[in-house]
Amino acid sequence: MPASIFNDKDDEILMKYVTEKTTAPTATFRRPRTFWEDCSKICFKSMKSPGMLSRRFRYLSTVKLHELKNIDLESKVRMLLASRHPINEEMLKELQQDAEIVELNERRVLIRYKKGDFELGSDRKYEVFFTRKEDMDLLNFIAKKAKSALSPIPKLDLFDEYVRLHNPIRTSYSLCHRFRYKLAREIQEMDGLDIEIKLRMLFITSYHPLDEQFIQGYAFF
């Protein structure tokens, strides 16, 4: 990218905008054209086109991100998860330092990161990012409902209620998918969770198929 198009100040403004917009755990670039149009108008008074900004950010995030010392590591992680740009070897080394989990897909795109209490991962179908706290809040809600439920609850009714009461930034569909393909499996493997509650949670959500090892471990007949 020619230096005459973007100087250091431009890069700083651009990365500050992206950092602010990817603060929320649900941040994605699902509508990238709108994202960069807004950036062009707000930050550069439309003097730089959305396409120019998108290409510049891709260059900075894939080639130069590890060199940007004015951006903290958590912001870099959120940025990479939201943009789904591949990372280079230097950035990977920075992520791996003191981290418990750094997971990339086959395109070298970051899909999961954990360091201490900071953890973010991608629900790959919906490309929505869930924190561990969100997962546990949802499981606690289902466990509470399961204690008094006498029959299975239609999935979208269950998750509609959760969205309405506790998490309006999510959709029922993304929560349903998150539970079915991630959390329901975790329930079966959780230590310290009463078997009756596990069975009730799986019962009211009509989850199937159950893990064979789980069935064998708690077979009553």
Distant-in-sequence, close-in-space partners of 71: CB < 8 Å, separation ≥ 6: 15, 19, 65, 79
Angle at 43 between CA 40 and CA 45, to 5 degrees: 65
Output the pLDDT for position 63.
93
Q: Answer yes or no: is pLDDT of 169 > 70.
A: no
pLDDT of 188 strictly over 90:
no
Residue 100 in this model has a pLDDT that exceeds 50: yes
Please state the domain extents for the chain.
8-92, 128-217
Q: Using CA atoms, how far apart are residues 210 and 215, in angstroms rounded to an integer?
A: 7
**125 pLDDT exceeds 50?**
no
What tens digit of pLDDT does each residue of 102-121 get? 888 767 888 889 898 888 87
* Residue, of 33 and 96, whose pLDDT is higher: 96
Query: What is the predicted pLDDT for the residue at 50?
Result: 92
Whether the CB-CB separation of 126 and 136 falls below 8 Å is answered with: no
Judged against a pLDDT cut of 90, whether residue 130 lies above it is answered with no
pLDDT band at 26 (very low <50, low <70, confident <90, very high): low
Assign 93 a pLDDT band (cuts: 50, 70, 90). very high
Confidence tier at 47 by pLDDT (50, 70, 90): very high
DSSP of 108-172: SBEEEEEETTEEEEEETTTTEEEEHHHHHHHHHHHHHHHHH-SS---HHHHHHHHHHHT-TTS-H
- Altogether, the residues listed in the chain come to a count of 221
β-pairing, 118-123 vs 128-131, is: antiparallel
Higher per-residue confidence, 188 vs 5: 5
Instruction: Read off the pLDDT of residues 156-167 as tens digits, 9 standing for 90 and up.
Output: 789 889 988 886
